[in-house]
Structure 1
Amino acid sequence: MSVSTCPSSPVSSRDVQACEPRELDAVDRAIVLATQAGLPLVPDPWGAVGREVGLSGEAVLERMQAMQARGVIRRVAAVPNHYRLGYVANGMTVWNVDDAHVARLGREVAALEGVSHCYRRPRHLPHWPYNLFAMLHGRSHDEVERQASVLRECLGEACRDHRILYSSRILKKTGLRLAGSRPGAASDIERRG
């Protein structure tokens, strides 16, 4: 399981906002440090984290929910390794979509089966006319190309051009990491909190 410590409010490329700093007390910081590489894969992950930071599992869950409500944590989600599942063809499809329709069509594309990520990005003319990005995963390039044809139909006349950019290597993917080490002793946390 992955814990993403990114701002929870969506930010569009047209409406970039500075993120307000959010304060973490020592206990919340210890929970983030203990979970930022992922939750333990055990029957009671909250209890396992709680034992590490000197809290009950219920208290850890409550604090994580509060951090999520404040926007400190964006989500807690499973992140499967799609390569190990056989999805070895990974294509970022880039689309040149009419700006008058891109917001509506982007939501439709994001809802399509097979689209794992969908973003609107600024064009960089004259060399890069693409403003809608959608990540597709398949067991072969042919499968990704079939998925891209479904996206092309969805975009209709609003789409002027597209490309599929296939991954050429696997990069280590991690979210934001706080500096510091995982909590050492429960008594350390209790003294601070």
Structure 2
Amino acid sequence: MSVSTCPSSTPIVDDAQRCDARGLDAVDRAIVLATQAGLPLVPDPWGAVGREVGISGAEVLERMQAMQANGVIRRVAAVPNHYRLGYVANGMTVWDVDDMQIERLGREVAAIEGVSHCYRRPRHLPHWPYNLFAMLHGRSREEVERQAEVLRRRLGDACRDHRILYSSRILKKTGLRLAGKRPNDAATNAGRRS
């Protein structure tokens, strides 16, 4: 599971200043540091994080929900490694869609099974006319092309052109990271309980 912290709409400042400005106390910061590389894959991830930072699992969950409500944590989500799951044909489909219909069609495309990401992006004319992006994953290029055809039919006459850009390598995907060490020594944890 992945935890994304501090939304990108926040002004560019030092990571600690950015999150401290949103009211993080030492325990919240310790929770972010303990989870920013992912939640532990154990039956009780909240309890495991709680043991690391010196509080109960219920309090970890409560604090994370509060940080999410305050915009410090954007989301908690599973981030699968598509390649390890056998989905080796990953194609970003790019579409030249009528601007008057893109909002409605973008929502429809995002809801289609197999679309993992869907974005509206600006055109860069005359070389890049595409304004709707949708990521597809398949076990083969043929499977991705079949999925793209489903999208093409959904877009109908509003779509003037499209391409499929296949991944050629895996890039490391991480969100914002706070500087600091994970809270794992007893002295640090004892100080946080007060």
Q: State the TM-score, normalizing by the size of structure 1.
A: 0.90
Determine the structure 2 residue equivalent to 1:19.
10
Determine the structure 2 residue equivalent to 1:88.
88
Determine the structure 1 residue equivalent to 2:54.
54
Q: Is the 8 A contact 1:54 1:187 kept in 2?
A: no
TM superposition shift of 1:186: 4.5
Give the 3-state SS of the residue equivalent to 1:74 in structure 2: strand
TM superposition shift of 1:122: 0.5
Please provide the CA RMSD for this pair: 1.6
Find the aligned partners of 2:133 and 2:186 in 1 and give their Cα distance.
45
Equivalence map 1:70-81=2 (5 Å): 70-81=70-81
Q: Is the 8 A contact 1:91 1:135 kept in 2?
A: yes
Deviation by residue 1:69-94 (Cα, 9 ceiling, x = unmatched) = 11111221222211111100000000
Find the aligned partners of 1:160 and 1:154 in 2 and give their Cα distance.
13
Runs (5+) with no aligned partner, structure 2:
12-17
Find the aligned partners of 2:156 and 2:186 in 1 and give their Cα distance.
58
Percentage of pairs with the same residue: 83
Count of residues in Structure 1 that have an aligned counterpart in Structure 2: 184
Runs (5+) with no aligned partner, structure 1:
12-17
Equivalence map 1:24-173=2 (5 Å): 24-173=24-173
Find the aligned partners of 1:107 and 1:186 in 2 and give their Cα distance.
49
Find the aligned partners of 2:10 and 2:160 in 1 and give their Cα distance.
34
TM superposition shift of 1:4: 1.5
Deviation by residue 1:121-178 (Cα, 9 ceiling, x = unmatched) = 0111111110000000000000000000110000011101000000001111111111
